Structure 1
Amino acid sequence: MRQPPSERIAREAIKAWRLAACLWSIVPIIITISLFVLAYLFDFSYWFGVILLAVSLIEIVITIIIVPNLRWKRWRYQVFDQEIYIQHGILIVSRTLVPMIRVQHVDTKQGPILKKYGLASLTVSTAATTHEIPALLEDEASALRDQISELARVEQDDV
């Protein structure tokens, strides 16, 4: 069995994922508040709202506090001359080898949350699918994009 990849994504990924989770957690809070308002207006039991509030709070704790740390600990990658090795997952750990000869193009992307923390994601496209290495430092993502592009070009020249 192969050793896990040695490279990690940027530690700032935890902050970016927490911010994204905070923004997504607004939805269950709005639904919970709406349920309390409906219970008040239509005079039905508040227990539905209390249960939904408890579930929402548990969801917030899990998605904002626990998951980003676990996700960061599991995300690893490594670029070799012949392949890219990617490992990720919390409960189910996925290990993917992407042969350089299959790489069609490599992109970096950056949304507003990643930009706030100086991060970018790298996507490696093959004919079958797209693989992503999220939340690398911007300079690291650009250098890795160029390195993979050059290695893929050399592999294709050898064929």
Structure 2
Amino acid sequence: MRKEPSNSLSIKALTVWRITAAMNMAIFFAIIVAFIIVSFIFTLPFWISVVLLFLWLVLAIFFIGFYPRIQWRRWKYDVFESEVEIQHGVFFVKRTLVPMVRVQHVDTVHGPLLRRFKLASVTISTAATIHEIPALEEEEADLLRDQISKLARVVEHDE
């Protein structure tokens, strides 16, 4: 079996993922509060509200505190002359090989949150799918995009 890819994402990905999780959990909390207000109007049992708040707290601790660290440790990638290898996943680890001959174009993408932390994601487009390597330092993402693009052109000209 092939060894695990060696390149990791930026450590700043943890902060970005935690902020994203906190925003999602805030929305979830607002929904729970709305449910609690409605439950008082319709006199539903109080224990339902307590269970929902407890569930929210457990999920918030997991998705903000632990999940990003596990996710960051599993995200790995390598670029070879003939393929890009991507590994990711928390509970189920997925390893993908993207042949250079299939690469149609490569982009760097960064939204407001990634831009704030000077990060970018590299997207690799093939005819069938789009593969993403998220949360790289901007300079590293640009170099990776250029490297993959160059290798894809070389493979295309060789055939």
Normalising to structure 2: TM-score of the pair?
0.97
Identify which range, 81-90 or 44-53, moves more after superposition: 44-53
Q: Distance in 2 between matches of 1:41 and 1:95?
A: 50
CA shift, 1:37, in A, is 1.6
| Structure 1 portions without partners, runs of 5+ | none
Query: Taking every aligned residue pair, what percent have the same amino acid on both sides?
Result: 47
Question: For 2:32 and 2:48, how far apart are their aligned partners in 1?
Answer: 9
Give the deviation of 1:34 after TM superposition: 1.4
1:22 matched residue in structure 2: 22
CA contact (8 A) 1:7 1:76 kept: yes
Pair 1:49-2:49 in alignment: yes
Does the CA contact (< 8 Å) of 1:35 and 1:48 recur in 2?
A: no
Residue deviations 1:30-63, cap 9 Å, x none? 1221122223333332111111101111110111
User: For residue 126 of structure 1, what is the amino acid of its counterpart?
Assistant: T
> Which residue of the partner structure matches residue 118 of structure 1?
118
Give the match's secondary structure for 1:73. helix
Task: Tell me how far apart the structure 1 counterparts of residues 44 and 134 of structure 2 sit (CA, whole Å).
Answer: 46
2:69 pairs with 1:89: no
Distance in 2 (alpha carbons) for counterparts of 1:138 and 1:40 = 50
**Aligned-pair CA distance for 1:27:** 1.8
Quick one: distance in 2 between partners of 1:155 and 1:44?
Answer: 65
Distance 1:116 1:33 in 2: 31
* Distance across 2 between alignment mates of 1:24 and 1:46: 25
Question: Map of 1:1-159 to 2, 5 A cutoff?
Answer: 1-159=1-159
Amino acid at match of 1:158: D
AA partner of residue 98 (structure 1): V
For the residues of structure 1 that align with 2:38 and 2:128, how far apart are their CA atoms?
A: 48
The alpha carbon displacement at 1:118 in A equals 0.8
Partner-residue secondary structure (3-state), 2:151: helix
Unpaired runs of at least 5, structure 2: none
Is 1:84–1:100's contact at 8 Å kept on the other side of the alignment? yes
